């Protein structure tokens, strides 16, 4: 059976669900080459997001996280290398934040011993996630 014969025998619905503006024969597999509304209209930045991605605030947050030190998260990146990492990767991270595509990494789960026995569970976020969520004193 040739490709032409397959095309003629394939079932293509004549109508789509109510409200669909697509033509059934034009996009038989449900695909479309049009852009989504989100692509055409980037999200409006909130005051909070504007503050997060502002260069001065990001530099303050980085310094704050570096001075606090702390353990590396699940990605094993230490506070010693975060500044050089941000210099290289900031354009991508900023774009992900603006487009609401940034997802924090899972926290590293560790158990801290309690003085009276037992253990307390602790989640350690990645250094990058700590920088992004660092609160600035105004």
Percent of the chain beyond pLDDT 90?
A: 44
The packing angle between helices 82-98 and 55-68, to 10°, is 130
Give pLDDT < 50 ranges for the chain. Answer: 1-20, 22-29, 37, 138
State the pLDDT at residue 27.
45
**DSSP of 69-120:** -----TT---TTTHHHHHHHHHHHHHHHHHTT---PPPPEEEEEE-TTSSEE
Predicted pLDDT at 53: 84
Contact present, 25 and 13 (Cβ < 8 Å): no
What tokens does 61 get?
Answer: 């947050």
Q: pTM of the full predicted structure? A: 0.61
pLDDT at res. 36: 52
pLDDT reported for residue 50: 78
Is-contact 70 79, C-beta < 8 A? yes
Question: What pLDDT is recorded for position 127?
Answer: 95
Q: For 79-101, what is each residue's pLDDT tens digit?
A: 999 999 999 999 999 999 888 88
């Amino acid at each position: 059976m040739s490709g032409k014969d397959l095309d003629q025998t394939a079932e293509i619905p004549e109508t789509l669900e109510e409200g669909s503006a697509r033509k059934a024969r034009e996009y038989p597999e449900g695909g479309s080459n049009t852009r989504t509304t989100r692509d055409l209209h980037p999200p409006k930045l909130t005051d909070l997001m504007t503050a997060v991605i502002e260069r001065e605030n990001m530099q303050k947050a980085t310094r704050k996280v570096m001075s606090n030190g702390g353990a590396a998260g699940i990605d094993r990146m230490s506070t010693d290398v975060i500044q050089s990492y941000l210099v290289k990767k900031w354009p991508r991270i900023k774009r992900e934040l603006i487009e609401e595509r940034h997802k924090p990494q899972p926290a590293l789960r560790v158990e801290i011993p309690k003085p009276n026995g037992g253990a307390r569970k602790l989640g350690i976020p990645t250094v990058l996630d700590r920088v992004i969520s660092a609160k600035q004193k105004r």
